[in-house]
Amino acid sequence: MMTKGAAVAAMGMVAGVALAQSSVTLYGQVDVNYQHLRSGDSSPLAGQSLNRLADGGVTGPGSRWGLRVSEDLGNGLKANVVLESGFNADVGTSAQGGRLFGRQAFVSLVSASAGEIRLGRQYIFHEEVQALNNPFANSTILNPGAPSVTLPAGVVQMFIDAPRIDNAVQYLSPSVAGLRLQAMVAAGEGLVDRYHGLKGLYAKGPLNVALSYEQSKARVATAGVAAAGDTVNRILELGGNYNFGAFKLFAGYQRGKDLTPGSSGIITAPSPAGGVGTQIATLTLPGLAGPATRLKAYTVGASVPIGAATVGVNYTRSQFENAAGADRTLGRVGLGVTYSLSKLTTVYSAIGVHNGDLKEFVNEKTLFQVGVRKAF
């Protein structure tokens, strides 16, 4: 018969085993930068200059905190949870429309031999591809998807970048000889569009390259653009980089067809009215009759490590076309530098200068920034 002391000891051993098989990690970063911008003469700021303090999310990944939970279920199977909350460090408010875990919120089962299934709010595929195509991943004004180009009609991006999607089911294959395949579906709820995406990633040695294709089925009609049931927001993206040691080269290409701002197939958060909305805030561009329905964009760049610093440069150019084939262009030259004070603390500075047909219509005709990013 087991004594009381032995029973307590046995319970402690079981608890110890359980704790050894499960882990919880708290992580995050705080990213704030000073910005000085000079606007175009026909922009909402009408040629004025502006000084502001901004969270890193204005031109990049932004401040956040999160939890990672992992439990070893045995036989090569794990259960994981990721809960990640974004916030604006410059003013202390929640980001992503005030959501508690607006950046990511998903549960997954991972098999070493069969791959991973994720359920919940996740990063969309073209966002992941864009992290490969520029010197500082999705940060600083060099980020092609930085949502900081403000036109009179609203915000427009040089590379469409709707970072996340709700109610998604994703499958990630095991990596075989550096190749991994991914597929994701977000069936849509209420008036939210039904989303489908495919992605392939090859990462081996100095080469990293990815290709994604995404499209949505419109749930509701958008006047003059799409009917309910139409396939909209077809986005093809290619990005990659190659590390030569002394320097690194980057390149990326995005093509968008049947672009539909009133649709929500690539939403970050539904709008209060009607439950639809999209990260494509506007495609009504100055000098272009009717909204743009197609986009061709590319970016090329390079980075050079110099001790604890990395210097990066890139050029991004977008061409927006309407249904009649008329187009408007917007380009940007970017130069930046990061310096690692430690593994967790980085200071950075960057400048972006716009050109092309739309340069005088954007608030950020020239944008200079200097900031600090602290991870934990």
Cβ–Cβ under 8 Å, residues 304 and 311? yes
Cβ–Cβ under 8 Å, residues 161 and 127? yes
Which strand (E) or helix (H) includes residue 179?
strand 179-186
Tell me, what amino acid is at 121? R
Q: Domain residues for 336?
A: 24-375
Cβ–Cβ under 8 Å, residues 173 and 167? no
- pLDDT score at 7: 47
Is there a domain that residue 3 lies in? no
Is there a domain that residue 175 lies in? yes
Is there a domain that residue 14 lies in? no
Q: Which tokens go with 151?
A: 């036109």
Is there a domain that residue 19 lies in? no
- pLDDT score at 108: 98
Is there a domain that residue 120 lies in? yes
- pLDDT score at 365: 94
Is there a domain that residue 165 lies in? yes
- pLDDT score at 145: 86
Q: Tell me the C-alpha to C-alpha distance, in Å, between residue 311 and each of 145, 161, 306, 314, 335.
A: 20, 24, 8, 11, 8
- pLDDT score at 276: 34
Q: Which tokens go with 310?
A: 């990395």
Q: Tell me the C-alpha to C-alpha distance, in Å, between residue 149 and each of 66, 71, 353.
A: 29, 43, 11
CA–CA distance, 242 with 175 (Å, rounded to integer)? 19
CA–CA distance, 116 with 82 (Å, rounded to integer)? 14
Q: Is 284 helix (H, G, I), strand (E, B) or coil?
A: coil
Burial class, 25, CB count within 10 angstroms (exposed 0-12 / middle 13-18 / buried 19+): exposed
- pLDDT score at 13: 41
- pLDDT score at 14: 41
CATH number at residue 324: 2.40.160.10
- pLDDT score at 107: 98
Tell me, what amino acid is at 103? R
Q: Residues in the chain with pLDDT < 50?
A: 1-2, 4, 6-20, 263-279
- pLDDT score at 309: 98
- pLDDT score at 84: 98
Is there a domain that residue 35 lies in? yes
Is there a domain that residue 228 lies in? yes
* Mean pLDDT score of the chain: 87
- pLDDT score at 277: 34
- pLDDT score at 165: 87
Which of 157, 154, 116 shows the shortest CA–CA distance to 138? 157
| Region at 5 (left for phi over 0; alpha for psi -120 to 50; beta for the rest) | alpha
Phi, then psi, of 162 in degrees rounded to 5:
-100, 100
- pLDDT score at 10: 45
Long-range contacts of 318-321 (CB under 8 A, 24+ apart): 318/158, 318/159, 318/356, 319/295, 320/156, 320/283, 320/285, 320/288, 320/292, 320/294, 320/295, 321/292, 321/293, 321/294, 321/295, 321/296
Tell whether pTM > 0.85.
Answer: yes
In total, how many domains does the chain have?
A: 1
Tell me the pLDDT tens digit for each residue of 309-341.
999 999 999 999 999 999 999 999 999 999 999
Cβ–Cβ under 8 Å, residues 210 and 202? yes
- pLDDT score at 16: 44
- pLDDT score at 261: 65
Tell me the pLDDT tens digit for each residue of 173-227.
999 999 999 999 998 777 678 889 999 999 999 999 999 999 988 777 766 677 8
